């Protein structure tokens, strides 16, 4: 009897934890799904125009390249820096749903956050 309870507890813990991890990596727009790594044009096509777009600055990154094979693998950082704009897109889904804030670095969706209820 105790093995069944343990197995049931593990299943419940796995099932309870997975929606939280899933919610931070993706966002549903109607029947469509966007996730981290998607481009701005895909998000705009699937979700429509955001309620607000805020420019938050610029991130500087050195382009990196990897060459060789294990165990002789090396990273090479390019000769300069890339300036990538950071934008926060806000989607207001109504007063009964939570605001969604999407953070883009360059053209790539890097983070999806949930804020308070919309208006």
pLDDT of 77 above 80: no
Query: Could you give phi then psi for residue 33, rounded to 5 degrees?
Result: -130, 130
Report yes or no: 1 and 9 within 8 Å, Cβ to Cβ: no
Phi and psi based region of residue 59 (left: phi greater than 0; alpha: psi -120 to 50; beta: remaining): beta
pTM across the whole model: 0.66
- DSSP alpha helix (H) spans, 26-109: 40-47
User: What is the rounded CA–CA span in Å between residue 26 and residue 42?
Assistant: 13
**Between the CA atoms of 15, 109, 103 and 105, what dihedral angle is there, to the nearest 10 degrees?**
140
With b meaning 16 or more CB within 10 Å and e meaning fewer, what string describes 19-33? eeeeeeeebeeeeee
Q: What is the mean pLDDT of residues 102-111?
A: 94
| pLDDT value, residue 8 | 55
pLDDT, tens digit, 9 for 90 and up, residues 24-42: 689 999 899 999 999 999 9
Q: Where are the domains of the chain?
A: 2-117
For the chain, give the mean pLDDT.
Answer: 81
Residue 22 has pLDDT above 50, yes or no: no
* Residue 84, pLDDT score: 86
Say yes or no to pLDDT of 74 above 70.
Answer: yes
Mapping DSSP to helix (H, G, I), strand (E, B) and coil, where does residue 46 land? helix
């Amino acid at each position: 009897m105790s093995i069944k309870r343990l197995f049931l507890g593990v299943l419940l813990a796995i099932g309870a934890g997975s929606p939280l991890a899933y919610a931070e990596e993706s966002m549903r727009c109607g029947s469509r799904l966007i996730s981290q790594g998607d481009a701005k044009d895909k998000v705009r096509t699937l979700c429509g125009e955001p309620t607000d777009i805020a420019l938050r600055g610029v991130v500087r990154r050195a382009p990196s390249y990897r060459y060789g094979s294990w165990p002789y693998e090396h990273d090479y950082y390019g000769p300069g820096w890339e300036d990538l704009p950071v934008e926060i897109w806000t989607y207001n889904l109504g007063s009964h749903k939570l605001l969604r804030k999407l953070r883009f670095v360059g053209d790539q969706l890097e983070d999806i956050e949930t804020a308070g209820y919309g208006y």
